[in-house]
Amino acid sequence: MKRTLYLKFLLAYVLFGIFGFIVVATFVYSMTFDRLRRDKAENMYQVATQIANTYAADLYNSETSLETVYEELSTLSMYMDRSPIWIINPSGRLVIDSSRPLGPGEEVVVNGFDPTVTGSSYYTTGDFWNSFNHDVLSVFAPITANYKVQAYVVIHASIPALQDQANTFLNISYLMLIVLFLLSLIILIFFTELVYVPLRKITTATEQYAAGNMGYEFSVESEDEMGYLAASLSYMAGEIARQEDDQKKFVANVSHDFRSPLTSIRGYLVAMQDGTIPPEMHEKYLGIVINETDRLTKLTNELLTLQNLNAKGGMLLDKTDFDINQVIRKVAESCEGSCRDKHISIELVLTDNKMLVNADVDKIQQVLYNLVDNAIKFSHHDSSIKIETTEKHSKVFVSVKDSGIGIPKEDQKLIFDRFYKSDSSRGKDKKGTGLGLSIVKEIIKAHEENINVISTQGVGTEFIFSLPKAAAMDAEDE
């Protein structure tokens, strides 16, 4: 995410504030003033109608005097913010003005007076035919007597006063807008701290990881989705870095394990070719060359096995019900030759004559062969290897235990890593590839089972792995 995006967001926020003030200054003022004018005109018209039907009607019906009506209108004008109340006849001559008494013989005429100027409405605005030096709001109410319009009650209100009221409401609107703007600014600050800054950190980290810098460290102190995303990204980078390190170690180990036998083979063959090794010694060194090629073949096969185990989509298993005891017996028989050379005996302690498990028989046979072969390599002469099966909670546990050199405690958590060889094993197993236990771990893991190691240096080592008992066995138990 580019920083310009945040600047655009800030610009949009500022423009929002500016346009907000413009909208309030135009539409809010206009709507407020129109509403005040209509409400004022409606109230004035009600008063004018009441006057026309009472005081003014009594005047034209000769039921009261002009002075009395003047006094009443003056008092009423005080309660209407001193709004002038006029009684004016159809010709435009002013009869009563509540704002001042008319002197004897004084005649005030509104030239051009036309009560129909309001049209369908009951009010008009303007200077009332040049009667005021500012605009006023004027309402008309006819005074009828003897079924004839005798005059009109006219009430005026100052337009500037209404504008002042509208401006007061406008100022309140401005104040509310400022408050909302400040509140939204607080939201913007929270957005910056809770969303933008963490997202910026995540984006920067992503760019660093994309550039290959898997060691880049960052942290987002948050327990929400943003923090979870950051933690997931950091974990992903750590896993990729670990895989890259594993790959480098893998290539280095493969290169080393291939280079050593190839160097030996080439060295012996060149020595035989140039006569350094005499013909009578050729048979001996050809045997060494054959052993080295066997070592390369074994290494290649195990690498291909690991590649297939880790292929996309995971390991394909052909699970069937089979007798694990029988498989153990076959593996023990196939290892008799290796055991005979070191005078090692294999002791079988098998639960029941037949123990059915549900697994891939070929891959489990490979697991057993690797574990037994490993036990033979690191066992002392004239010792024994014990293979045992036990049943517990619908699981079958297989144990392969030797009384060999053992594994140092610090190496036990590393023995399932590819190409790993402890220092004590390097002198004993010069033909080992360091891949056997890795293959065992991958196969057991594919079965969603576990394998553990128990070892004491100088005493021996025991590998224990579990397999699911076949459903047929549970049916027989019932």
pLDDT averaged over every residue in the chain: 83
Residue from 402, 400, 414 nearest 456 by CA: 402
CB 193 within 8 A of CB 87: no
Q: In what order do the strands lie in the sheet with 94-97?
A: 94-97, 85-88, 148-158, 136-145, 123-126
Highest mean pLDDT among 46-50, 105-109, 261-265: 46-50
Kindly state the average pLDDT of the residues 154-174. Answer: 90
pLDDT band at 428 (very low <50, low <70, confident <90, very high): very low
pLDDT band at 15 (very low <50, low <70, confident <90, very high): confident
Residue 349 CA: distances (Å) to CA of 83, 245, 388: 117, 42, 5
Kindly state the average pLDDT of the residues 170-181. Answer: 85
Angle at the Cα of 446 from the Cα atoms of 452 and 326, rounded to 5 degrees: 70
User: Helix, strand, or coil here: 218?
Assistant: coil
Amino acid at 12: A
pLDDT by residue (tens digit) across 62-96?
888 889 999 999 999 998 888 999 999 999 999 99
Q: What is the pLDDT of residue 197?
A: 79
CA 102 to the chain's CA centroid:
82
Q: Tell me how far apart the alpha carbons of residues 424 and 419 are, in angstroms, rounded to a whole number.
A: 14
Instruction: Decide if pLDDT at 6 tops 80.
Output: no
Q: What is the pTM of this model?
A: 0.47
User: What per-residue string of b and e applies to 290-329 under the rule 16 or more CB within 10 Å gives b?
Assistant: eebeebbeebeebbebbeebeeeeeeeeeeeebbbbebbe
Burial of 438 (0-12, 13-18, 19+ CB in 10 A): buried
pLDDT by residue (tens digit) across 440-471?
888 898 889 999 999 888 889 999 999 999 88
Instruction: Decide if pLDDT at 476 tops 70.
Output: no
* Residue 226 Ramachandran class (φ > 0 left, ψ -120 to 50 alpha, else beta): alpha
* Range name among 14-18, 323-327, 367-371 with the lowest pLDDT average: 14-18
How many C-beta atoms lie closer than 10 Å to residue 228's C-beta?
12
Residue 256: strand pairing partners = none
Q: Tell me how far apart the alpha carbons of residues 181 and 17 are, in angstroms, rounded to a whole number.
A: 7
**Residue scoring higher pLDDT (328 or 188):** 328
Residue 467: strand pairing partners = 396
Q: What is the pLDDT of residue 257?
A: 63
Q: Tell me how far apart the alpha carbons of residues 478 and 476 are, in angstroms, rounded to a whole number.
A: 5
Angle at the Cα of 91 from the Cα atoms of 86 and 93, rounded to 5 degrees: 45
Half-sphere exposure of 119 (CA within 13 A, CB side): 3
Kindly state the average pLDDT of the residues 127-143. Answer: 92
Instruction: Decide if pLDDT at 253 tops 80.
Output: no
Q: Tell me how far apart the alpha carbons of residues 188 and 201 are, in angstroms, rounded to a whole number.
A: 18
Residue 433 CA: distances (Å) to CA of 258, 311, 439, 471: 10, 20, 11, 38
Highest mean pLDDT among 202-216, 410-424, 452-466: 452-466
Helix (H) or strand (E) holding 462: strand 460-468
pLDDT by residue (tens digit) across 372-396?
988 998 888 889 999 999 998 889 9
* Range name among 271-280, 311-320, 398-407 with the lowest pLDDT average: 311-320
Kindly state the average pLDDT of the residues 138-158. Answer: 91
Q: What is the pLDDT of residue 385?
A: 93
Return the structure tokens found at 98.
């509540």
CB 469 within 8 A of CB 394: yes
Hey, CA dihedral for 174, 178, 184, 185, is it positive or negative?
A: positive
Q: What is the pLDDT of residue 118?
A: 83
Kindly state the average pLDDT of the residues 133-137. Answer: 93
Residue 59 CA: distances (Å) to CA of 68, 140, 149: 9, 17, 13
Q: Tell me how far apart the alpha carbons of residues 374 and 36 are, in angstroms, rounded to a whole number.
A: 99
DSSP for 87-138, written as a single string: EE-TTSBEEEETTSPPPTT---B-TT--GGGGTTSSEEEESTTTTSSS-EEE
Q: What is the pLDDT of residue 424?
A: 44
Q: What is the pLDDT of residue 241?
A: 82
CA 323 to the chain's CA centroid:
50
